[in-house]
Chains A and B, each alone.
Chain A
Amino acid sequence: MLQTQETIINRQGYRLHMIQSNKFKTLHFVAKFISPLSREHVTKRALLPFVMQQATKNYPTANAFRQKLDDLYGSTFSMDGSKKGEMHIITARMSVVNPSYLSTDEPILAEAVQFFNEALFAPKVLDNGFDPKIIAREKQSLGQKIESIKDNKMQLANMRLIEEMCEGEVYKTHVHGYPEDFDAITSESLYNYYEQVIKKEPLDIYVIGDLSELNVEALFDQYIERATNGPIASMQAEEKTVTKPKEIIEEESLQQGKLHFGFRTHTHYSDDDYPALHVFNAIFGGFPSSKLFINVREKNSLAYYAASRFESHKGLLFVFSGIAPADFKKAKKIILEQLEAMRAGDFTDEQIAEAKLLITNQYKENLDEAYGMVEMLYNQQFSTKDSMDDFVARINAVTKSAIERVANRIELDTTYFLTQKGVE
């Protein structure tokens, strides 16, 4: 029932994924470059998407670049870097209104494809480098962005938790990069790095929308010149067993304390028990019917939010809640009791059935969202097992003992509490 009509074609230098769908009034293009996460390159990879959106060969100022998008009926273009396990992905996204809804004869679509490719493959170059003025200004912006994370306490607590928990592992690398690297990055060195990304890294391009009348391959082939394309990288991440759980308490000027936990699941995307981890999380803390929400919020009125989320590739589980600073011990005890209850099998068959429905529902809803669909399809490449239909079948096959098994494998690694100055 869950047919996504994805056709994958290996073109010269890239994999083209075409997804026919009549759900949208727009067409969407997504390009993804992937590389192992590394402390050495991360700041360059964080800067690149900003620099590339400032100027291209034919649109040499940010104004000209953005005005072209406006001319294309308010097309949108964005680019960013993200972490997936211990890999780093640079993603460019563009959407353009399907011309069949517009009263125009202009070749909007061909121009949009051209724009997308220009943004990726034809940046503005001065003397074998990017424009030094752009680099300087974008370093400054990125620096400010990194600083302002401190003004978002939830993000700050999350970042600090991962720093503490993954000390010594590459996963702790900040996706925004490090201001102390800025001085060493010149317009030439960044451009050299860019060329490596563009020429060497595995590239996947997704095109989604009503493609029935389009020759998508021809549209893209004319812009992409790459000798070869690597296979999608395999997702290896460092495994660590907890020797002694850490507890970190830090103070800030704030009203609400942020109590976050980091666990190791030892269950990964390609494992047989991966669907059971989904069901575990749905019962434990993924939804408003989950144990965390019911016990921390509804029964004890300690928090407005209390939830859990897992990371599939590195094998991590996080719990987040916002509590009054004085409630630390009480909230911590209740949260950890919920995990104990999961380990002891203290949940019913009805809860399991409900969890499966919730996951399936959420999964299908994602298929109504173009970029959500791309993320799922891209993820699928990292596993040999999954097709979309299989996923639902695998969720439905999860047994109670598998959920308990997953729960018992989960280890608490780090408790992080960001609290108010001067409150015990």
Chain B
Amino acid sequence: MQYNQINETVYQETLSNGLEVLLVPKPELEQTYGVFTTNYGSIDNQFVPLGEMNMVQVPDGIAHFLEHKLFEKEDHDVFQEFTALGSSANAFTSFTKTAYLFSTTTEIKKNTEILLDFVQAPYFSESSVEKEKGIIAQEIQMYDDQPDWRAFFGIIETMYENHPVKIDIAGTVDSIQNITKDDLYTCYHTFYHPSNMTFCLVGAFDAEEMLQVIRDNQSQKSFDPVQTIKRERVVEPAHVNKDHEVLHMPVVTEKCMIGIKETTTEKPTDFIKAELMSEMILDYFYSKSGAYYQELYDLDLIDGSLGFETERQLSFAFSLIGANSTDVEQFKAVVLKQLDTFKTYMFSDEAFTRMKRKMIGGLMREMNSTSNIANSVSQYHFLGIDYFKLLPMLEAITKEEVETFMHQWIKSDNVASFFIKKETQDD
């Protein structure tokens, strides 16, 4: 597939075992980035294990735990295989995905084979599972000390009643104690089938040659027949669970997060439009060029740290606005009033052109990075969306569409707030 406007070409093939291969050659680069992604993340905590009949629930944090443990084999650590080639390897777990990656400037074929092989050859033992608990406990405690992270999960817990998005991706120090090697194998066999995964390579290589390397590698391995994974669908109300929550922490600067809980859609074109439009709107009002940013700044309610983001997946979607503030109550009151104006807001043509141009520039800039391209191509592929078509989709969005979207965005019961406040002094 060629994309002339942005001068990119993507090679796509579905292998007989179900694995989706996506290759984006960029011969002008030094670097090649490979990412092997499974459609499995922290929210997939209730499912029917492969070959079984009944729904089970696994301990919180297991997808992330499994990500750590895949690197360890019976007699060595996979990091060492990559570093022996001078490459770097890493992995991450999100709400809905687990991804394993390398980046290199040499030996692309070997790196690719190591990545495919280590993810497809799990080795879990009781002792190595126990050993990992100490490391992950330190990772969790590192995050526990970070007010931004606590605020992020704080607002999600405030918005969601049942949906597992409210569970911290790494779990808790307590929940991970319950993880066993058998749990890991159960999750692994269910979610790491090639038909639930993509392999994406971006960088300086020959596409035909690499496609053959991947085909050959996969044809040497045998997998169970493709089966549909049964995941629990949790019923989550459209309204927020609670309007407001507060967490007291030993902080110097207090924080406020405002969350908008949104309705979901599975149709790819609607999905991507909703994502692009919510990003565009938040950026228009709350980036440094935005009128609402300026208002908060002029009222001395922010210190330049205002942030916003949209997280949209098939089973949940929300947008966040947050900042450090010397007056979190007032910050909240002003933002809620600002969001209320969305219900009737109309854009001038000039403003609409500007906001769209900015999004176009942002999208092009993202395409400077091999890791961004590889992760976006993979993640959108799971949603049935072609990443390199985002640009024409964005260009086609009209002012009326954005206004219609915005007018129904904020409801009386889908906005929540969360504060990180100082601990009351008693010592």
Residues of A within 8 A of B (CB): 21-26, 50, 61-63, 66-67, 69-76, 95-97, 101-103, 137, 140-141, 144-145, 147-148, 150-153, 252-256, 287-289, 297-298, 301-305, 322-324, 350, 354, 356-358, 360-362, 364-365, 367-370
Contact = CB atoms under 8 A, between A and B. Distances in A.
B186 to A, nearest CB: 24
Among A95, A288, A354: residue with most chain B CB under 10 A: A288
Contacts of B30: 364-365, 367-368
A399 to B, nearest CB: 19
Contacts of B87: 361
B83 A148 contact: no
Nearest to B298: A137
A368 B29 contact: yes
Contacts of B287: 66
Given A74-B359, A256-B138, A67 B354 contact: yes
B131 A256 contact: no
A322 B140 CA distance: 11
Nearest to B131: A301
The 8 closest A-B pairs by CB, nearest first: A357-B86, A74-B361, A66-B289, A301-B134, A253-B250, A74-B358, A144-B303, A289-B83
Contacts of A289: 79-80, 83
Interface string B75-112: 00101100111111100000000000001111000000
Contacts, number: 174
A50 to B, nearest CB: 8
Contacts of A369: 368-369
Given A255-B144, A358-B83, A70 B368 contact: no
B357 A145 contact: no
B308 to A, nearest CB: 15
15 contacts: A63-B294, A70-B355, A70-B358, A76-B365, A95-B365, A101-B364, A148-B252, A148-B303, A151-B251, A255-B145, A324-B137, A361-B86, A361-B105, A365-B105, A368-B370
A24 B366 CA distance: 10
Given A66-B288, A144-B324, A361-B104, A73 B252 contact: no
B365 A354 contact: no
B423 A253 contact: yes
B291 interface: yes
Among A24, A25, A62, A95: residue with most chain B CB under 10 A: A25
A322 B360 contact: no
Nearest to B251: A151
B365 A97 contact: yes
Given A23-B29, A70-B354, A288 B135 contact: no
Contacts of A101: 5-7, 364
B146 interface: yes
Given A67-B289, A70-B355, A256-B142, A287 B362 contact: no
A147 B253 contact: yes
B88 A362 contact: yes
Interface string B264-298: 00000000000000000000000111010010010
Contacts of A97: 360-361, 364-365
B77 A298 contact: yes
B113 interface: no
Interface in B49-90: 77, 79-80, 83-89
Given A24-B368, A26-B365, A322-B142, A148 B86 contact: no
Given A97-B365, A152-B146, A361-B104, A71 B294 contact: no
Given A73-B358, A74-B365, A358-B88, 14 more contacts: A25-B6, A73-B361, A73-B364, A95-B365, A140-B300, A255-B144, A256-B142, A289-B83, A304-B135, A322-B141, A357-B85, A360-B86, A368-B30, A369-B368
A287 B6 contact: no
B391 to A, nearest CB: 9
Interface string B122-136: 000000000111111
Nearest to B350: A71
Contacts of A151: 147, 251-253
B402 to A, nearest CB: 15
A287 to B, nearest CB: 6
A256 B103 CA distance: 30
Given A253-B250, A324-B138, A25 B367 contact: yes
A354 B86 contact: yes
B28 interface: yes
Nearest to B83: A289
B365 A256 contact: no
B139 interface: yes
Given A26-B368, A76-B365, A302 B354 contact: no
Contacts of B7: 101
A256 B253 contact: no
A56 B147 CA distance: 35
Contacts of B384: none
B78 to A, nearest CB: 10
Nearest to A350: B84
B51 to A, nearest CB: 33
Contact of A365 (B31, B139, B294, B361): B31
B350 to A, nearest CB: 9
Interface string B5-40: 111000000000000000000001111000000000
Contacts of A21: 28
A23 B28 contact: yes
A419 to B, nearest CB: 12
Contacts of A137: 297, 300
Contacts of B368: 23-26, 369-370
A153 B31 contact: no
